[in-house]
Amino acid sequence: MASSNTPPVILYHYPGSPYADRVTSTLALKQIQYSQCLQPPILPRPDLATLGVRYRRIPVLSIGRDIYLDSRLIVDKLSAFRPSSPATPEQRAIERLLRTWTTSTELFATASMLLPLDNPMMNDPVFLRDRADLLGGKDRLSRETRAAARPQAIIAMRALLEFLETTLLGEGRTWALGSEGPSAADVEAVWLLRWVTASPGGLDGTGIDQTSFPKVFAWIDRFGDAVKAARKCPSGKPSTISGEQAAAMIVEAPYNDAEGEVDESDPVAQALGLRKGQLVQLCPTDYGSTHKDEGKLISLSSGEITIETVTAGGATVRLHAPRQGFRVAPVKAQTKI
């Protein structure tokens, strides 16, 4: 049970998002009490726009008046919010390597090619137009494109499962680090496979099954059982709230993170002349980059960018993004005529 002094934790997501599953699994396993504000899988998302958030990807998580973008940063913040048992340097290295591998844009795009060609959402013109906007107008998800890419996707996913079958899950290991229960390394390694294997018919004819990879499939089931058990605990069950309720809870809460400073020795800060309080734009570097957030630069470190934005009601909140995969730049002054 969260104490009255604990800032509210709110997750904006939609069911079926693999990135959101990564976060909800972490919340459940860490027994962090939270509320969820369910979102549509496509734009518009007025609940986030109310907070002054233009970022168009899911999930988004708030802790107090701090709003975090990208599941990588979100998982890190949850780990700091509810620390686990200390890990060894070797274990932390394995966790980070797994994260780098499974969160790469290329691997996710490859995995998406294993969705059945007749998947209803992947044949919905409205959904495809939305994702074309997300991907910069590139038609990567047409039926023809997916059919042509599927054979290579099968090879890539087989390689991933072969690695897990023969290394991390080898020698009778139940969990990735040989621990008694699922760790952060398991979360990092399993989330993408949970999505791929949960799609009915997606693996038909691929040779990716329990017979070929018994340890991996048993581990996926074991992880799912652990998450289900965690969600049965009182703190593992989220309450569902409206966008209005979520916004009110956020702007009335204290900040979760200290304000921080701008590291003026940072190469990007030096090249662009970035200073604390400067008006800047923030956006992803891979996809969804046309949706730029704007606000005052609060802090810039080797791992994180923080800006202050204004909600529709005039309150201020802080928006956080990881350095990896995001770009920050000064807002260019417009010439008045």
Structure confidence at residue 333 (pLDDT) = 62
| Cα separation, 49 vs 56, whole angstroms | 10
Nearest to 34 by CA among 84, 72, 68, 85: 68
Torsion sign over Cα 48, 76, 318, 293: negative
* Of the options 3.40.190.10, 3.40.50.300, 3.20.20.70, 1.20.1050.10, the CATH number for the domain spanning 89-219: 1.20.1050.10
pLDDT band at 332 (very low <50, low <70, confident <90, very high): confident
Is pLDDT at 4 greater than 70 in this prediction?
no
pLDDT band at 137 (very low <50, low <70, confident <90, very high): low
Q: What is the pLDDT of residues 257-290, one digit of tens each?
A: 999 999 999 999 999 999 999 999 999 999 889 9
Position 238, amino acid: P
pLDDT band at 336 (very low <50, low <70, confident <90, very high): very low
Nearest to 188 by CA among 25, 7, 6: 25
Answer yes or no: are the C-beta atoms of 271 and 277 closer than 8 Å.
no
Is pLDDT at 20 greater than 70 in this prediction?
yes
64 burial (CB, 10 Å; 0-12 / 13-18 / 19+) is: buried
pLDDT band at 104 (very low <50, low <70, confident <90, very high): confident
- Give exposure, 96-119, as e/b (b: 16+ Cβ within 10 Å): eebbeebbeeebebbbbbbbbeeb
Domain limits, the chain:
89-219
The 3-state DSSP class for residue 81 equals: helix
Torsion sign over Cα 161, 167, 172, 175: negative
Structure confidence at residue 87 (pLDDT) = 81
Is pLDDT at 138 greater than 80 in this prediction?
no
Please provide the DSSP assignment of 104-142 as one string. Answer: -HHHHHHHHTTS-TT-SGGG-HHHHHHHHHHTTS---SS
